[in-house]
Amino acid sequence: MIRYIFVVAIFISLASCCCYPNQFHAYVGYMSNYKYGNTAQHTSSAMQIWYDHCNNRARYDYPKYKLSYIYNYQMGEYVYMQNGTCRAYTLRGNLTKLCTPKGSHLINLGTYNFGAGKLPFHVSGYFRNYKTGSYGSIYSYSTDCVPLASGGYSKNKRGYSVWGSSWVNMTIGISNLGVFDKPKNCKGFTRGIVNQELDLMDVINRSFKKDVSTEKGEKFSNIIENVFSNI
Q: Which fold has domain 3-227?
A: outer membrane lipoprotein receptor (LolB), chain A (2.50.20)
What CA–CA distance (Å, rounded) separates 172 from 50? 10
d(CA 185, CA 88): 10
Half-sphere exposure of 60 (CA within 13 A, CB side): 19
The residue ranges of every structural domain in the chain are 3-227
147-180 b/e (C-beta count within 10 Å ≥ 16 → b): bbbbbbbbbbebbbbbbbbbbeebeeebeeeebb
- pLDDT per position in the chain (231 positions), as tens? 333 323 333 333 344 678 999 999 999 998 888 888 888 888 888 999 999 999 999 999 998 889 999 999 999 999 999 988 888 889 999 999 998 887 788 887 888 776 667 778 899 888 888 888 888 888 999 988 999 999 888 898 889 888 889 999 999 999 999 999 988 878 666 567 888 889 888 887 653 333 333 323 333 333 333 333 332
- Which one-letter DSSP state was computed for residue 14? S
- Which secondary-structure segment (H or E) carries 167? strand 159-172
